[in-house]
Structure 1
Amino acid sequence: MEQAMKTGLESWFQPLPDKQCPFCGHMLRQLTHTVASGETYLLGIYETCTCAAAQSEQAAAMAAKAEAERKRVEDTRASTVHALMAASGIRGRYASRTLQTYAVPPGDERALKVALNYVLKFEEQREKGMGLYLYGTCGVGKTHLAYGVAHALIEQLHSVICRSATDILLELRGQMDGTANGTEYETMLRYLTCDLLVIDDLGKQQVTDWSMAQLSTIFDGRCQDMLPVIVTTNYSDAELIERLALRSDKKTAASIVSRLHEMTYDVPMSGQDYRSR
């Protein structure tokens, strides 16, 4: 044992003299650890006294350490949520549009139920590559509901991007023309790889062969990679196809609408105008 202790001392800590417990006076020894080879090493710390006062102090120290770790995890999470929110594109009036602040228009109770269930089962829906297709007349709360889902998923630490179809195309065009920061490739990559992409007001954007190609790239890429989208539009399928085909190929427009239904659950909304309430 003496030889084993000597070998251990050469590798780890020097011997410490016994010390008294400050509460009861019991003599406390330095802790040791014996490895598989039989060598015993000094650990450089003392055993904890078994008296009530010493045990209480140790419990308080452990509680303080646990609280500090909880606070560290909480602060890290809050920082991550803040960064995800900043990267999401949610700003202005939509920064406060959550599922909790959504006032259900009469007749659209199902829409809110679908949205809440989607958040609850997002991991399952993401594995399926399924999103939501919110459609109906103006002002019934489609954007609020979509952004509410986005808020909830960001709180779950998912990467989400929320943009109108028009803004997406303006950003890509600006980068292609050199009038906007970043590159078209970098921006397209973000739209293709985020956990959830929310595209608001599909059908209101300016339609060209180029814009249709960009939208097709986004929808096709996310569909192939099983990544969900949430889309809002004021138009029926027939109206949306006509809108998308104004200056482009109607067949391509129809394929985009078909692809959207393939990768989303239909959520019709027809309640009272949300903005007039």
Structure 2
Amino acid sequence: MRENAFFTPREARERGLEFEEPAPIACRWCGKPLTPLGTELLGQVRWLMSEPCGCDEEKAERERVERMQRAEQERNVAEKVTAAGVARKFANVRTSIPEIGDFLFEFDRHGGNGLYISGIVGSGKTHAVSALARALVYEGHSVVLTNTLAMLDSIQATYGRDGNQSGGVGRFTRCDLLILDDMGKESGNGWVLTTMFQVINTRYENMRPIVVTSQYTLPALAKRLGRAGEKESAEAIASRLYEMCGIVTLLGIDHRKSEGKPWLSGA
């Protein structure tokens, strides 16, 4: 007898269940008679489906449906990857940076720990974090990948509305992972640093990880952020990142220039 909730007429009789004799069912492709399958509902058997036929035509149809379902799932995930902030250029990238692989593998056990990835312009920082974001979205996590300038613009655009933070600070503090790409490009005024600290500190206190990329090392970033005189806020941001993040330093190679574009070299 079956272990699941569905059973044949013979199995229903063996269980002593009441039911009306099911109407004959035949394979829609080859015409072979099929065995009905039912389940018990309110003390009576309801016939819902039939056992598979196994003919070549049925197998081909099942494979076609499965392909369509997989394609639909891929489209849905691709839309989520785009919504997470992964640019079209990086929609299918992968990375071989060991620290990112380890971070991804341990993500559900990270305890709020993140990564601070530094490297010169063109060293592959955006490529790497795009691959990380894509992989986590495929695993069902909520990810926001953005740069600090775009994040600040998004937060500022919500000012004066009804107070709902879903599109403001809350979007960046509540997601499973926030990735801030290319930190250090923003101005160092008081509102900018206060807002950045609010986002980073909220994630710090709630043990939600953050991944940051920058062309500056953390000590250099602190100086960069404090260049307008907001040294206390700049140091507070750097301190939080230092405690939250493992440090990853990429090789000093500009991959964009090393690809050998003849129109850049004058050839």
| Percent identity between the two aligned chains | 26
One-letter code aligned to 1:254: E
The structure whose residues are more often helix, as a share, is 1
1:251 deviates by 1.8
Which residue does the alignment assign to 2:252? Answer: 271
Q: For 2:84 and 2:207, how far apart are their aligned partners in 1?
A: 20
Which residue does the alignment assign to 1:14? Answer: 20
Q: For 1:276 and 1:248, how far apart are their aligned partners in 2?
A: 35
Which residue does the alignment assign to 2:85? Answer: 89
Q: For 1:29 and 1:148, how far apart are their aligned partners in 2?
A: 48
The answer to whether the 8 Å contact 2:189/2:230 transfers is: no
Would you say 1:123 and 2:104 are equivalent positions? no
Q: 2:151 aligns with which of 147, 168, 171?
A: 168
The answer to whether the 8 Å contact 2:82/2:88 transfers is: no
Would you say 1:186 and 2:167 are equivalent positions? yes
1:197 deviates by 1.0
Which residue does the alignment assign to 1:107? Answer: none
Q: For 1:74 and 1:193, how far apart are their aligned partners in 2?
A: 29
Which residue does the alignment assign to 1:53? Answer: none
Residue 226 and residue 66 in structure 1: after superposition, are their counterparts in 2 closer, same or farther (change >3 A)? farther
One-letter code aligned to 1:166: L
Residue 76 and residue 124 in structure 1: after superposition, are their counterparts in 2 closer, same or farther (change >3 A)? farther
Which residue does the alignment assign to 2:139? Answer: 156
Residue 123 and residue 63 in structure 1: after superposition, are their counterparts in 2 closer, same or farther (change >3 A)? farther
Q: 2:192 aligns with which of 190, 201, 211?
A: 211
One-letter code aligned to 1:247: A
Which region of structure 1 is more displaced relative to structure 2, 210-219 or 77-86? 77-86
Which residue does the alignment assign to 2:219? Answer: 238
Which runs of 5 or more structure 2 residues have no equivalent in the other structure?
1-12, 26-30, 259-267
Residue 34 and residue 219 in structure 1: after superposition, are their counterparts in 2 closer, same or farther (change >3 A)? closer
Residue 184 and residue 31 in structure 1: after superposition, are their counterparts in 2 closer, same or farther (change >3 A)? closer
The answer to whether the 8 Å contact 1:140/1:272 transfers is: yes
1:256 deviates by 0.8
1:139 deviates by 2.0
One-letter code aligned to 2:199: I
One-letter code aligned to 1:192: T
Residue 77 and residue 224 in structure 1: after superposition, are their counterparts in 2 closer, same or farther (change >3 A)? farther
Which residue does the alignment assign to 1:143? Answer: 126
One-letter code aligned to 1:158: H
Q: For 1:253 and 1:133, how far apart are their aligned partners in 2?
A: 16
Deviation string 1:187-245 (CA, Å, 9 cap, x unpaired) is 32111111111101111101211111111111111112221111011112332112111
Q: For 1:63 and 1:238, how far apart are their aligned partners in 2?
A: 62
One-letter code aligned to 2:100: A
SS in 1 for 2:91: helix
1:119 deviates by 1.8
RMSD: 4.1
Which region of structure 1 is more displaced relative to structure 2, 267-276 or 254-263? 267-276
One-letter code aligned to 2:254: D
SS in 2 for 1:245: helix
The answer to whether the 8 Å contact 1:133/1:231 transfers is: yes
Q: For 1:234 and 1:138, how far apart are their aligned partners in 2?
A: 6
SS in 2 for 1:235: coil
Deviation string 1:225-271 (CA, Å, 9 cap, x unpaired) is 22111101111233211211122431221111111121111101233
Which residue does the alignment assign to 2:94? Answer: 99
Q: 2:232 aligns with which of 247, 251, 276?
A: 251
